[in-house]
Structure 1
């Protein structure tokens, strides 16, 4: 009689443990899918702001709620059609900084970045841009996204405005290496 009570209690504990595991697993996956997820930096296009192999946290809720993204937000996104046509993996994720929103006039002249007829000071970039870009008005439903390392970045100056629906989220925190621990902006 004692063994059957113990056996029943053991089964209940095991069942409870399994249920708890699946609840926590579901909660963790839900948080990662909806709110925030870890990513790493594979290239130097965001130097010096983000280094190769930095680990960052990407906030995804603002994008899911269709909230406007401020200028200078660092965004993670799926490649636009122009890059996919050039052979980019459609499931890849890229990272750049929003430098223009719908209606903004963007231009690169004399090695400097201009928005709406005004020279833009970019404290994260001390290198003069070595290309020009004719003035473009950013269309509705898109943003201009450029790397901080402008001379070594495959970005909107080459493939055009980024459709908002391609944006996955915004980089909010660098968590590795610990010497760079802190906000990404």
Structure 2
């Protein structure tokens, strides 16, 4: 369901009824007469819907993490907040940018519309900026020919689909002075070539069994999940167009399974 569109329709309908009553209908009612229900309810809900619409469209939007692709940074069941204006002010529903502000930076956690189905929101970490050459070979990342710093930070295990434990290694990765944790499962293949899609600018990429190299086209970004061997990301479905950007994730505001995560900053 396209929730922003539904919210916009509700806003327009309740707003029109409120305006119609303010300009015409209330002057025709007898003094002391009660408002009909179809006027009373829309008028009551209009200011609430207006506030929610403005907050959600231009300031902050909540999201729920549905998968483990960003473990250990984000866990399944995390409810997060996304800054909607840091990458520019966009018109709701059509997502057209009207005011330029900041551009995404390497290492930031970004929410965007999935290029293959814009009705779905994805969350990944920005790795490559327009013009960058991103290489991931033997499970080691390089940007523009410079290896990304990382250091082993112990083992990490998590439950996958509630059925079995997955044992991985946890690394601290450093991009442009931004540090964050990633997971590497040494038992998984370096690259699942059969899972690579045909996507726009695929000719910018070269794939083999050991990994890939991609040059990010202008107006696009390259993203990876922190759970490197458990993520569907730009390696497989391509680049994120600038027009698909939703905002920057910045805080976990709730998790029913782990209340200690409430208020955690997203690095």
The TM-score with structure 1 as length reference comes to 0.80
Aligned position for 1:183: 265
Choose between structure 1 and 2: higher helix proportion. 1
Aligned position for 1:74: 109
**Is 2:37 the partner of 1:36?**
no
Query: For residues 5-59 of structure 1, what are the alpha-carbon distances to aligned partners after superposition, in whole Å with 9 as ceiling and x for unaligned?
Result: xx85x98xxx999857532431221111111111100001001110001000011
- Tell me whether 45-54 or 125-134 shows the greater mean CA deviation: 125-134
**Count of aligned pairs:** 169
Aligned position for 1:125: 182
3-state SS of paired residue (2:77): coil
CA distance in 1, matches of 2:67, 2:44: 39
Structure 1 runs (4+) deviating above 6 angstroms are 15-18
- Tell me whether 89-98 or 128-137 shows the greater mean CA deviation: 128-137
Query: Using CA pairs below 8 Å that are at least 6 residues apart, which structure has the higher relative contact order?
Result: 1
Choose between structure 1 and 2: higher strand proportion. 2
Query: For residues 84-109 of structure 1, what are the alpha-carbon distances to aligned partners after superposition, in whole Å with 9 as ceiling and x for unaligned?
Result: 3xxxx541111111001011110011
Query: For residues 78-136 of structure 1, what are the alpha-carbon distances to aligned partners after superposition, in whole Å with 9 as ceiling and x for unaligned?
Result: 111xxx3xxxx541111111001011110011220111111113141142673343322
What residue ranges of structure 2 are gaps of 5+ in the alignment? 1-30, 90-98, 151-172, 174-179, 192-209
Aligned position for 2:231: 153
Aligned position for 1:52: 76
Contact 2:71 2:183 in 1 (8 A): no
Instruction: Choose from 103, 106, 112 the match for 2:131.
Output: 103
CA distance in 2, matches of 1:52, 1:18: 37
